[in-house]
Amino acid sequence: PMAAPAPAASGPPTANPQDKLRFAIMGYINSLAQSSTQLSDEAKESLEVSVQCMSEAFKLKLDDEEASKRLAIKPLTLPKVFDTGLQVLSAAGTHRSQPPHPAAAGVPP
């Protein structure tokens, strides 16, 4: 007997902040591979492979229109978000020279 299909979700699934970060990192690396004039062809290919590996590991695809709608941070860019975060931390006096322990950031050991 075949299993009944899952009921349709109402509206798009909520975007997981970690998936948004992963998607942004993949997009950033992909843009480096596509547009950098300072990288060798071998380096660009390595970046493309890294995006493919992350895509498989995280089950996210940059060319997935639905995922892009849920996860893209446009018009922001990852470097802009990073720079702004550093400025905020610096202004608050909480900037550290070393990142917090990975477990504190929700990253498994």
* Three-state SS sequence of 7-67: CCCCCCCCCCHHHHHHHHHHHHHHHHHHHCCCCCHHHHHHHHHHHHHHHHHHCCCCCCHHH
Query: What is the model's pLDDT at position 10?
Result: 47
Over the stretch 60-102, which tens digit does the pLDDT of each residue have?
Answer: 999 999 999 999 999 999 999 999 999 999 998 875 655 555 5
Q: What number is the average pLDDT over the span 19-34? A: 96
The answer to whether the pTM exceeds 0.75 is no
Q: Residue 43: CA atoms inside 13 Å, Cβ hemisphere, count? A: 9
Percent of the chain beyond pLDDT 70? 74
CB atoms within 10 A of CB 11: 6
pLDDT at 93: 84
CA angle at residue 35 from 71 to 48, to 5 degrees? 65
pLDDT at 52 over 80: yes
Structure tokens at 43: 């380096």
| 17-35 helix and 41-58 helix, angle to the nearest 10 degrees | 160
Asked if residue 27 has pLDDT above 90, the reply is: yes
Q: What is the pLDDT of residue 100?
A: 56
Mean residue pLDDT of the chain comes to 83
